[in-house]
Amino acid sequence: MSGKTSRLRVVQPNHLLTVQDRGRQGAMRYGVSQSGPMDWVRFTLATVLAGDTSAAFEVGIAGASFFAEGPVRIAVTGPGFGVRISGGRTASFEAPVLLTLEDGETLSLSPGATGMWAYVAVGGIDFGPPVLGSLATNARTGLGARDFGRPFPCTAAAHADPVLYEDPLDDGGPIGLLPGPQQHMFPEEVRRTFASEPYRLTDALDRMGYRLEGPPLKAVRHDIISDGIVEGAIQVPGNGQPIVLCADRAPTGGYPKIAIVANADRPRLTQHRPGDTVRFAWIDEDEARARRRTLAERCRHPIPRIRAAFTSEFLAARNLIGGVWGPSPAHED
Phi, psi angle pair for 237, to nearest 5°: -75, -175
**Cis amide leading into 179 (omega within 30):** no
Which DSSP letter does residue 57 get?
Answer: E
Contacts of 7 (CB under 8 A, 6+ apart): 68, 69, 70, 151, 152, 153, 154
Q: Could you tell me the domains of the chain?
A: 5-167+302-316 (no CATH), 175-296 (2.40.100.10)
Torsion of the alpha carbons at 298, 299, 300 and 301, rounded to the nearest 10? 50
Q: Residue 267: CA atoms inside 13 Å, Cβ hemisphere, count?
A: 26
Residue pLDDT tens, the chain, 333 long: 557 999 999 999 999 999 999 999 998 988 899 999 999 999 999 999 999 999 999 999 999 999 999 999 999 999 999 999 999 999 999 999 999 999 999 999 999 999 999 999 999 999 999 999 999 999 888 899 999 999 999 999 999 999 999 999 987 899 999 999 999 999 999 999 999 999 999 999 999 999 999 999 999 999 999 999 999 999 999 999 999 999 999 999 999 999 999 999 999 999 999 999 999 999 999 999 999 999 999 999 999 997 645 556 555 655 555 444 444 444 443
Q: Where are the beta strands (DSSP E) in 22-166?
A: 56-59, 64-69, 72-77, 82-86, 91-94, 97-101, 106-110, 118-122, 152-155, 163-164
What separation in angstroms does the CA of 324 have from each of 56, 309, 321, 327, 329? Answer: 39, 19, 6, 9, 13
Q: If DSSP codes are grouped into helix, strand and coil, which group holds residue 134?
A: strand
One-letter amino acid for residue 123 of the chain: G
Instruction: Say how far apart CA 21 and CA 43 lie, in whole Å.
Output: 8
3-state helix, strand, coil in the chain (%, to 5): 15, 30, 55
State the Cα angle at 162 between 160 and 164, rounded to 5°: 140
Contacts of 325 (CB under 8 A, 6+ apart): none
Buried b (16+ CB within 10 A) or exposed e, 185-220: bbeeebbebbeeeebebeeebbbbbbbbebeebbbe
Residue count (the chain): 333
Instruction: Say how far apart CA 236 and CA 224 lie, in whole Å.
Output: 11
Instruction: Say how far apart CA 213 and CA 276 lie, in whole Å.
Output: 11
Buried b (16+ CB within 10 A) or exposed e, 79-101: bbbbbebeeeeebebbbbbbbbb
Instruction: Say how far apart CA 240 and CA 250 lie, in whole Å.
Output: 20
Do 16 and 7 meet the contact criterion of CB atoms below 8 Å apart? Answer: no
